[in-house]
Structure 1
Amino acid sequence: MAVDRMTVLSAMMDQGVIPVFYHPDVEVCKKVIQACANGGAKCIEFTNRGDFAPHVFLDVTRHFAKADPSVIMGVGSIVDAPTAGIYIANGAKFVVGPLLNADVAKVCNRRKIAYSPGCGSASEINYAEELGCEIVKVFPGSSVGGPDFVKSVLGPCPWTRIMPTGGVDCTEESLTKWFKAGVVCVGMGSNLVTKQLLDAQDYAGIEKKVRETIALIRTIRGK
């Protein structure tokens, strides 16, 4: 499915939360990702962490290209350009990293793929924007200053779009602090797709939690 960069960026901001997930079992990945999509989170960040993760990703993207083309598969934990290229060739529509790498930005820009690098300072965020990054990941969110850091950056740079990952919970208190600080979306891993839900194979529970989180974010944004 051909999805342009602006469509992906708009979808990320609209849903407000990006589920961050990895599992070595392709079938588990399919079920979790479909549950997230059914709950309203069509953009999913698959983390590049396990052995043969690119092969798992390829199988998953091939599945959703037929089963549910509305799913937008992205990849996270990307730290170098060759790995980014592998995932783009395997169908990634956006790339996320724990750090900023200019070569990854160039690869993504050549293919019109959204790139959200991890940044921990105003200078890194500025450099990421010079490289063409529309949504910048703040990572680890809680360690670099949390919502107060976001407010401090957006004061002199109101055009910046920030997505924190790390230190974001599904609670109204946590999400309110982040969104009132000015973030455009948040990344959430085990706080959203919990170990308890996974162990129980409770995919309906995952769908419910995703749906409730998106609804909560929309309520917060509307206040």
Structure 2
Amino acid sequence: MMMFPDEILQRLQRTGIVAGFSVEQTQHAVPLAKALFKGGIDAIELTLRTAAGIDAVRAICAEVPEMLVGVGTILTPETVREVKAAGASFGVAPGMNARVVRAAQEIEFPFAPGIMTPSDLEAAIELGCRFVKFFPAEAAGGISYLRSMSAPYKHLGIQYFPLGGLNAENMLPYLKESNVAAIGGSWIVKQTMVNNEDWDGITTSAANVIKAKNKGFENE
């Protein structure tokens, strides 16, 4: 059965917000990760959408060990093996590809396929997945859609990782759902800030997001 280790799930639940981004230049990876960590975000999803992706993963895992490194846009079995070898703690994908899930199972690499529909979810459940990426969250119908779609499977204890269209204004309803382990925040890291090596700006962005999250839970 494909299960995320409790240690990783609990850490995702504690941080609540995972910064999603890609890296165009490998030398930006480590200072970017350090800037996010300084701002209070200790989990990332580095997407493999550039040639520098795997090298960036390797650099962060080696030089920023305090960061929980997740890798996104894993589309092939070969990439699963490459990502684990680079040192990543977990992987996710935008869609549900059985070959990729099986490859992750074979090497015991925590992996969450992407789902959007009940059929997607059932395909993931059939393969033993209990932690899935809900993508694209807002375009699919947002929190109301997730509640309706997930309801028939609640007894299975599925945990969701919504990403896509989320921001500081709409993140709290997701974070307050008991079946949402964490959300993905691709708005936190602006590419212009990375290009300008504005690490202080990224730290401030991360800190503001964590502050907004904490404020949203203050009265509960």
Query: Under TM normalisation by the shorter chain, which class is it?
Result: 0.7 to 0.9
In the alignment, the residues of structure 1 paired with residue 33 and residue 88 of structure 2 have an alpha-carbon distance, to the nearest angstrom, of: 14
TM-score by length of 1: 0.85
Q: Which amino acid aligns with 2:162?
A: P
The alpha carbon displacement at 1:120 in A equals 1.0
User: How far apart in 1 are the matches of 2:37 and 2:125?
Assistant: 29
DSSP-derived class of the 1:155 partner: helix
Deviations 1:34-88 (A, max 9, x none): 1112222222111111125323322332233xxxx22121210011111111111
Give me the whole-angstrom Cα distance separating, in 1, the residues matched to 2:217 and 2:132: 19
Partners of 1:14 and 1:116 in 2: how far apart?
18
Structure 2 equivalent of residue 169 of structure 1: 167
Q: Tell me which moved more, 96-105 or 4-13.
A: 4-13
2:134 is aligned to: 138
- Kindly tell me: are residues 200 and 53 of structure 1, through their superposed partners in 2, closer, same or farther at Cα, counting changes over 3 Å? closer
Q: CA deviation at 1:176?
A: 2.4
The structural deviation recorded for 1:139 is 0.9
Separation in 2, partners of 1:15, 1:126: 28
In 1: Cα distance, 2:138 partner to 2:11 partner: 25
Higher mean Cα deviation, 7-16 or 49-58? 49-58
Distance in 1 between the 2:107 and 2:212 partners?
A: 34
Query: Is 176-185 or 161-170 further displaced after alignment?
Result: 176-185
2:8 equivalent in structure 1: 8
Partner of 2:54: 54
Aligned residues: 213
Contact 1:150–1:181 (Cα < 8 Å) also in 2: no
Q: Provide the C-alpha distance between the structure 2 equivalents of 1:37 and 1:188, rounded to a whole number of angstroms.
A: 14
How far the C-alpha of 1:180 sits from its partner, in A, is: 4.1
Structure 2 residue runs of 5 or longer lacking an equivalent are none
1:111 and 1:218 mapped to 2: Cα distance?
37
| C-alpha distance in structure 2 between counterparts of 1:152 and 1:59, whole Å | 40
Give CA-to-partner distance per residue, 1:121-176, whole Å, 9 cap, x none.
022123223323332111111221111111103322222211111110122xx112
Amino acid in the other structure paired with 1:202: D
Distance, in Å, in 2 between the alignment partners of 1:214 and 1:154 is 27
Deviation at 1:177, TM superposition (A): 3.1
Question: Contact (CA 8 Å) 1:100, 1:119: kept in 2 or not?
Answer: yes
Cα gap change, 1:131/1:37 in structure 2, threshold over 3 Å: closer, same or farther? farther
CA contact (8 A) 1:5 1:114 kept: yes
Provide the C-alpha distance between the structure 2 equivalents of 1:37 and 1:82, rounded to a whole number of angstroms.
Answer: 30
Identity of matched residues, %: 24
Measured in 1, the distance between the counterparts of 2:115 and 2:175 equals 18
* TM-score normalized with structure 2 length: 0.86
Native 8 Å contact 2:18 2:44 kept in 1: yes
Match of 1:198 in 2: 194
Counterpart check, 1:36 vs 2:33: no
**2:200 is equivalent to residue 188 of structure 1:** no
In the alignment, is the contact (CA less than 8 A) between 2:46 and 2:53 conserved in 1?
no
